[in-house]
Structure 1
């Protein structure tokens, strides 16, 4: 049994990944997968409705499922939730999908303790809530709960908006955050049908019939002739409602007329309906969505599925590439390769750690194979993103987190292949999980396949400077994490013998050499790109200084080692400080609010950055403990 353990672990990992590729369960008869693949234009990019649903839920509530700890899951998938928002707003208004963390904002919205407290229906759940295994208070609320006090929320948000982001109080930041979540929900709610409409299709049919008389009344009024006041009133009422839809609408659902295949010409539903006053008829796509809504509310699955297929058939010949990408992107979303990889990285890490205590050969090999499988899954996700975006792998902060982890794990696989001591697997599992967790939190700000800014719209430099400098980040982080393993094993276990310590030293030294080369080349290439973009090689921008600091610090490590200034523990301490330098260059400089590379101050990121830096300083302090105190060393003189 022990002999076949690595193979069993690998097969279980493959089965787990294969299970994520199965179509999502759909308890309804509606073709929700097909509905999720319908493309729309948002923020300059054609994307499937499934992506719209998932990114909207992440932005509003930091998760993709719509559920309550008291009553369980409300919908089977993000696409079902979005269909409910589009076509049955009254029901969607009751779903708790707006996250509120601030007690002050809760009080502002009139939510009292009884509204926040969770009442479980079983003794077991109540006991688990007391012990902290289940939440005892709510953090997500429905639009219907917040609606009575939304005017006050809007007023406070308008007062906070003129204040610079860095100067806002925590209350003001939370007010703006919650207000933006509510606005996003309203934008989705008004993207397809008119506000508070209970039968949008019938209203549109009646409006289309009344259009000739209404247009005639408007023209007669303009000429000063007698006209129908009633028809004129109907036209004004509908125009106001359409204008409101245009003002708050978020999704461009309506493609341009036949013969115009420019994606940028897609229109909001409100804009298209306003255009009907000039054409005298309603756009067929708008009518199709109205019929889709009626079928949804009536539970008419056959009609709903037929219209979804019809929308695909209409768009396929006009936008074949966009339709193909929309289909692949929705499948990519459902598979969630990065979430699967996180799970595999954790198991690889745990198996590798246990291998230091028991069955080193079998568990070490199992951890290596599982790490390789997680790496393959992550690679597939990154390559899928590259194909969807038509760009190199690193285009924004989110994708940089993916690539930093990917590069570090790639190096860890080589280390483990050569040394076979599970150190590479431990480091790879830890870094892979940590960077994917960072990426997940970065995804909460919205679509991660965003359009490129003009200055960054260069696949050549994205494929050279950005990739090379990011590999430098990966290697420098890896050297620091290897040093952390050295410290942890030296102080907490008795597994750091001379052979292991020497192996870790060679690993750190080799990785630092690698990191120095890539950081230096990447920084030089960045200067050349800056000259082409901004007309200067160097401007002392914080991000540029951060990149230079990485190069300098890696050079300091190498010179200290070559000059005999530091030995094993000193090398590890310097490598740990490299984590601080790299984290500052990667995240810290982005939050300063100055320079061409500033992406904005993020409270959560700032506190996590401080926590990470503090942890590295603690590890550095531990390297200063006298060697004889490191009880795990059996031969203290080796260092």
Structure 2
């Protein structure tokens, strides 16, 4: 009786398992990317293509074949950047909208900057760059308030100020480019030709790299340190413009009248900006390692990772810039390398970070020695960037202070 009563129970259990097993293998397909995301990605790419077509149609008279090629090749790069880093989309659209609006306000009359309200106080190149400088300083203050008071809202305000500073800085650069053509077709050039202009570029690149890492690691703590070096660069730029009237647009010297400048200089300053950021992260690492504000700063592993990535990116672009510079030198001066002071110190910077990366990848360099080395690299890089112009002379003397 017991046996016969238990058998059906065991069979029903097995049957139940058999019934459940097939259903457990059924998987409902779900798309990895939501259709809305794909739609906005495609729309962003379409907007960039339309913008490039508009620029080619309206401003082709001011562009040679090289400029047009650069513009066309920039579209896939910006598209990929916008897909990979969503906040950059809003920045690109904002830069384009404000720059075109400023150009519309100017028309063909450069003197409108003296009496048109929006140009005079917001959208002329000088006004926009002054706004950039002020916003960077304010952002630095709020980052420190957020760090010291543990205020998330202060950190969020600092981040928005930094984004706004980057927006105004790029608008200032784009409008300055247009203003140079209003002065004269033979004067017009991309605004990366003197120390004042490249300092603006340095600030923008450093801030952009920082904002990417801020979003990636979800922390505002690094901003208090990275924005210090940007504020220092802003202070130098303001002093330089006041003492030397450097904000005035000048004709290109003959040595810079080359399309090589348009790719050599940006690549160079991506390297400089990344190296500067890694040095300030190194300062953060050393403070965390000694227990100073330790509970408010990111983990040492995060800081070490940011430092490594910054140096890696900077080294890659600095290598490209050095190669491009050699090709430019061969065209301009008849030789790839002349041991000019600027070239020599660029080589020293390159060797410094090449050895740093070698020691990390091959010897496993980590921790405090790695951070001190990255911080020391800032001294070498700063001398190559500014010191050579101040104390030495050579073929690159057009950037002399």
TM bracket (short chain): 0.5 to 0.7
Q: Tell me the CA shift for residue 334 of structure 1.
A: 4.2
TM superposition score normalised by structure 1: 0.41
Are the equivalent residues in 1 in contact too, given 2:135–2:161 (CA < 8 A)?
Answer: yes
Cα distance change on mapping 1:600 and 1:591 into 2, 3 Å: farther
Larger radius of gyration: 1
Distance 1:485 1:500 in 2: 10
TM superposition score normalised by structure 2: 0.64
**CA-to-aligned-CA distance 1:271-323 (integer Å, 9 cap, x gap):** xxxxxxxxxxxxxxxxxxxxxxxxxxxxxxxxxxxxxxxxxxxxxxxxxx995
Distance 2:227 2:209 in 1: 12
Q: Tell me the CA shift for residue 371 of structure 1.
A: 1.2
Q: Tell me the CA shift for residue 497 of structure 1.
A: 7.4
Task: Name which of 128, 137, 141 aligns with 1:337.
Answer: 128
Q: Tell me the CA shift for residue 496 of structure 1.
A: 5.1
Q: Tell me the CA shift for residue 359 of structure 1.
A: 4.3
Q: Tell me the CA shift for residue 585 of structure 1.
A: 0.8
Are the equivalent residues in 2 in contact too, given 1:593–1:599 (CA < 8 A)?
Answer: no
Task: Name which of 434, 446, 451 aligns with 2:232.
Answer: 434
Distance 1:513 1:397 in 2: 25
Task: Name which of 306, 325, 329 aligns with 2:110.
Answer: 325
Task: Name which of 332, 337, 355 aligns with 1:538.
Answer: 337
Task: Name which of 326, 334, 355 aligns with 1:556.
Answer: 355
Task: Name which of 195, 209, 220 aligns with 1:422.
Answer: 220
Q: Which residue of 1 aligns with 2:250?
A: 450
Task: Name which of 363, 380, 389 aligns with 2:171.
Answer: 380
Q: Tell me the CA shift for residue 353 of structure 1.
A: 2.4
- SS in structure 2 of the partner of residue 476 of structure 1: helix
Q: Which residue of 1 aligns with 2:318?
A: 519
Q: Tell me the CA shift for residue 503 of structure 1.
A: 1.1
Q: Which residue of 1 aligns with 2:155?
A: 364
Structure 2, gaps ≥5 residues long? 1-105, 181-187
Q: Which residue of 2 aligns with 1:574?
A: 373
Structure 1, gaps ≥5 residues long? 1-320, 603-639
Distance 2:336 2:381 in 1: 22
Distance 1:400 1:563 in 2: 35
Distance 1:353 1:491 in 2: 19
Aligned positions of 1:232-243 closer than 5 A: none
Q: Tell me the CA shift for residue 562 of structure 1.
A: 1.6
Aligned positions of 1:189-208 closer than 5 A: none
Asked if residue 584 in structure 1 is aligned to residue 383 in structure 2, the reply is yes
Q: Tell me the CA shift for residue 601 of structure 1.
A: 6.8
Aligned CA-pair RMSD:
2.6
Are the equivalent residues in 2 in contact too, given 1:471–1:515 (CA < 8 A)?
Answer: yes
**CA-to-aligned-CA distance 1:400-436 (integer Å, 9 cap, x gap):** 1111111000101101111121134324432332222
Distance 2:302 2:194 in 1: 36
Q: Tell me the CA shift for residue 392 of structure 1.
A: 2.1
Cα distance change on mapping 1:322 and 1:365 into 2, 3 Å: closer
Task: Name which of 191, 194, 210 aligns with 1:396.
Answer: 194
